[in-house]
Amino acid sequence: MQYSFTIYYLLLIINSVCNHICLLLVDINTELDIILHHEQLPMILAQSMELFSKEGDLTVLDPEQLIWLYISTNNTNSNEFDFKKALDLLKYIPGVSLVED
């Protein structure tokens, strides 16, 4: 009987650790997705908006700024893919929900 309690508690600990790891992976994947959208920002747009630091790196932008850049009139070469990227970024803005018909 003692072994069954030990195994039960061990399984509880393992489940807790797995849940924690899953939450960490969701956070990491969210950050990687935002980074991907950041890297896909058109270079011409980034240069025209002077988004580079003195070291030559692209400054960090939050999802709202990225959305604005993707759909702004400054993005003269925008197409449907840029609007799709902007829509994809909406899920990373708190309080914004997309309603599907």
Q: What is the pLDDT of residues 36-90, one digit of tens each?
A: 999 899 888 888 888 887 777 888 899 999 999 999 988 888 899 999 999 999 9
- Inter-helix orientation angle 63-71/2-39, to 10°: 30
Please tell me the pTM assigned to this model: 0.74
- Does residue 37 fall inside a structural domain? yes
- Does residue 97 fall inside a structural domain? no
Task: Give the domain range for residue 69.
Answer: 2-92
Count of domains in the chain?
1
- Does residue 29 fall inside a structural domain? yes
pLDDT above 70: residue 1 = no
- Does residue 26 fall inside a structural domain? yes
Query: Residue 98 has what pLDDT?
Result: 64
